[in-house]
Structure 1
Amino acid sequence: MAKQPLSYFLIRLLSFLGVLLIVSGLTSENGDPKTPSVDNKIRGVCWVGGDSISTHNFDDLVANNVQWISQTPFGLQTHYNTPELHFASSGWYWGERDIGIEHTARLARERGLKSILKPHIWLRRSGGKWRGDIEMESAEDWDRWFENYSKFILHYANIARESNIEMLCIGTELLHPAVEFPDKWRTLIKEIRKVYPGKLTYAANFYLEYEAITWWDAVDYIGIQAYFPLAEDHAPQLEQIKLGWKPHIEEMKKVSQKFGRPVILTEVGYRNDVKAASEPWLWPSQIDNNTIEVSDDMQADCYRALFESCWDEDWLAGVFIWKWFHSTWKYPDYSTYQAYRKKRIDSLVAVGKISHHRASRKVFFSPQGREAERVMKEYFGK
């Protein structure tokens, strides 16, 4: 969980004031808030764009009852407080380039899968910051940032339209821009809808952000990056994890009712270690593999708790599981990806960027090849 320089109470106040502006039509005849109802839930995974693919790369998804994939291209921002933003549309991995996104969406559709395009911002020189810390130092810089971001997201809106991608996520975990500049987002959304006819969402961080956004009524779905803490203790029992979902379910339901929009968990996932329920937001590189207790059972229980606690909620439109590597990458247990990874890590060790223990990392987010995959398949099949 990243440190947030905005006051928690200020964010709560902004959220409250925004709710007062929501149209009265979001209540039922007896004055109670409406709860949006979704019949056919999104059964999705966050797709890792690697090398060139063919239709057979989707075999595992179809076999696991997956119906949606989330594709993530990147925009590059040098520092958290600089307004320049560069597209990565022709670099990085093939699957993150424009041509790869278009090709992947087409092949997925041939296998009966729908797509959401979900661009992220990547800080090139983070200095311990991440996109949730993006904050400009002047009004002029904010104007430049939004001008650049608008070009960035409109580029992908056009890609989504041309590729017949069913949904577009207009931003991911941009706390300060999303909370502090609601009018700019409403203006941007109007511009996006001029070029893209599909459904829109925004992926807000679970911590402080999603409850503070005041313009959810302008998009079709409330998106949440759902790495909620579900237990205080490490290695909790299944019933404890399910109990940990209760306050988060109530808060998500309230926001859904206020804005009359269903919720998508745009990312939700768990590592295979004993801290998966208590600190699900930790990236594997933040885990000490020399001391952590690996637990495929804990990962599976976290998924069971997710589905048993949330799946039948009327306001929940669906989930995207973080994350899924296609068979070209052979992740996490296959030789092709391991060979690629060893070569990459050896090069980083050689220049002193990482330590040797990272090369034998045992903790991953992906459910692939573990009990968690069977849990996902079971509930996606219902």
Structure 2
Amino acid sequence: MKKTFLLGFLILLVFAIWTYQNQAAENGPAIKILDKQKGVCWVGSPKPLEGWELDVLGSFGVSHISQTPFGWQSDPNLPEIKWEKHTDRMWWGESLTGVEFTTASAREKGIESILKPHLWVRGQWPGAIEMRSEKDWAEWFGQYAEFILYYAQYAESHQIPILCIGTELELTSGKEKEWRDLIGQIRDVFGGELTYAANFTEYEKIRFWDALDYIGIQAYFPLADKNNPDVGSLKNGWNRRIKEIEKVQKKFNKPVIFTEIGYCNTEDAAIEPWVWPNERKEVALSEDVQAACYQAFFETAWQMDWLAGAYFWKWYPQPRDRDPDFTPQNKKAQEVMRSFYTAGF
């Protein structure tokens, strides 16, 4: 009886070791990020900076900023894209002249930049971009390739470490072949790391994460279903989201970046975090809720080994006195951010 039991135990042990080894071979070694990107989304200034505007970032522990030059698409269903190549009518900070100055000024202060070009669609968000024919799809991807390669070449020549190849292009990202072809073109001219900023409703559907260096998520996840939630309920909301993210992270064995994350200073900030401030003007202000959202994030998702960094939307060169708004500047949320950004990792 004892021999039978011992034999059965050994068989189970061998099977368990075999299963573990096969899973490890399939998924690769576990990821543990030791030096997280402590980021904010830098707002391009309408006028040239003097240089001092970035001085305060170091005191908040910020190690990275994302910079966003824009392209413009007048109709989400027509394949015409314009960008700096076609016009100089843009804010200084969103031009390559402004990006270059900001990058150099930030580096002098020990802060690195990532480049995150973004399409601005008139009257819509980029997730509405969708062509009506294969001919138009081919034309759109051709123009988009020219747009993103313009910035990829700039990023390479200025040693930008990370390029975000697209943002919230939710109805385009199902075109897997076209995106893989585009990633190959970008790799030909840019030697740094690549990510794509998928909307929180999009990232689970993307099939080309294996071709990139990071899984990028615009992390505006709903965390509550009522106003004025406490930190405990917000953490519960994050814990549910973390389980969903981990399924994708383990499948592709890539680190994750929250390419954007942010909350307005309003009582309803955690219900639909993506809603623009001008749509919240009738909602009561609350620095406490905004700060609680930051606290819940840092006590949950920020602790994950696979999270390579986060970029808070948004940070102005000069703080603005406008309510409601996403920025944590001069609000309780900035002190929460400071406490965690200066604590380590």
TM-score (norm 1): 0.81
Counterpart among 57, 63, 67 of residue 61 in structure 1? 57
Superposed displacement of residue 377, structure 1: 0.6
Q: 1:190 corresponds to which residue?
A: 184
1:243-263 Cα distance to aligned partner (Å, 9 max, x none)? 011121011111111011010
Q: 1:302 corresponds to which residue?
A: 293
Q: Does 1:256 align with 2:256?
A: no
Please give the alpha-carbon distance, in whole angstroms, between the structure 2 residues aligned to 1:30 and 1:71: 41
Superposed displacement of residue 92, structure 1: 1.1
Q: Give 1 or 2 for the bigger CA radius of gyration.
A: 2
Superposed displacement of residue 120, structure 1: 0.7
Superposed displacement of residue 371, structure 1: 0.7
Against the structure 1 CA distance between its residues 28 and 167, is the aligned structure 2 distance closer, same or farther, given a 3 Å change threshold? farther
The letter for the 2-side match of 1:162 is S
Against the structure 1 CA distance between its residues 117 and 57, is the aligned structure 2 distance closer, same or farther, given a 3 Å change threshold? same
Answer whether contact 1:131 1:173 (CA < 8 A) is retained.
Answer: yes
Give the gaps of 5 or more residues in structure 2. 1-18
Q: 1:320 corresponds to which residue?
A: 311
Answer whether contact 1:49 1:94 (CA < 8 A) is retained.
Answer: yes
Q: Does 1:364 align with 2:311?
A: no
Superposed displacement of residue 55, structure 1: 3.2
Superposed displacement of residue 185, structure 1: 0.9
**What are the within-5 Å matches in structure 2 for residues 160-199 of structure 1?**
160-179=155-174, 181-199=175-193
Please give the alpha-carbon distance, in whole angstroms, between the structure 2 residues aligned to 1:191 and 1:30: 34
1:40-94 Cα distance to aligned partner (Å, 9 max, x none)? 0010000001021233211111111100000001111110100010013532100
- Give the SS at the match of 1:321: strand
Counterpart among 201, 213, 232 of residue 239 in structure 1? 232
Answer whether contact 1:172 1:204 (CA < 8 A) is retained.
Answer: yes
Superposed displacement of residue 28, structure 1: 6.4
The letter for the 1-side match of 2:60 is N
Please give the alpha-carbon distance, in whole angstroms, between the structure 2 residues aligned to 1:28 and 1:101: 47
The letter for the 2-side match of 1:31 is Q
Answer whether contact 1:76 1:88 (CA < 8 A) is retained.
Answer: no
Q: Does 1:82 align with 2:78?
A: yes
Please give the alpha-carbon distance, in whole angstroms, between the structure 2 residues aligned to 1:220 and 1:88: 27
The letter for the 2-side match of 1:82 is L
- Give the SS at the match of 1:319: strand
Please give the alpha-carbon distance, in whole angstroms, between the structure 2 residues aligned to 1:240 and 1:88: 45
Superposed displacement of residue 30, structure 1: 4.1
Please give the alpha-carbon distance, in whole angstroms, between the structure 1 residues aligned to 2:211 and 2:235: 32
Answer whether contact 1:171 1:203 (CA < 8 A) is retained.
Answer: yes
Q: 1:350 corresponds to which residue?
A: none
Please give the alpha-carbon distance, in whole angstroms, between the structure 1 residues aligned to 2:264 and 2:181: 38
Answer whether contact 1:81 1:136 (CA < 8 A) is retained.
Answer: yes
Superposed displacement of residue 236, structure 1: 0.8
The letter for the 1-side match of 2:188 is K
- How much identity, in percent, do the aligned residues show? 47
TM-score (norm 2): 0.90
Q: Does 1:332 align with 2:325?
A: no
Please give the alpha-carbon distance, in whole angstroms, between the structure 2 residues aligned to 1:250 and 1:225: 16
Please give the alpha-carbon distance, in whole angstroms, between the structure 1 residues aligned to 2:170 and 2:234: 27
- Give the SS at the match of 2:300: helix
Please give the alpha-carbon distance, in whole angstroms, between the structure 2 residues aligned to 1:293 and 1:267: 24
Q: 2:11 corresponds to which residue?
A: none
Give aligned pairs, total. Answer: 319
**What are the within-5 Å matches in structure 2 for residues 137-152 of structure 1?**
137-152=132-147
Q: 2:127 corresponds to which residue?
A: 132
Please give the alpha-carbon distance, in whole angstroms, between the structure 2 residues aligned to 1:29 and 1:176: 38
The letter for the 1-side match of 2:183 is I
**What are the within-5 Å matches in structure 2 for residues 255-294 of structure 1?**
255-287=248-280, 289=281, 291-294=282-285
Please give the alpha-carbon distance, in whole angstroms, between the structure 2 residues aligned to 1:144 and 1:182: 16
Q: Does 1:374 align with 2:326?
A: no
Please give the alpha-carbon distance, in whole angstroms, between the structure 2 residues aligned to 1:170 and 1:150: 10
Please give the alpha-carbon distance, in whole angstroms, between the structure 2 residues aligned to 1:263 and 1:36: 10
Please give the alpha-carbon distance, in whole angstroms, between the structure 2 residues aligned to 1:91 and 1:73: 12
1:312-342 Cα distance to aligned partner (Å, 9 max, x none)? 1011111000000013xxx223xxxxxxxxx
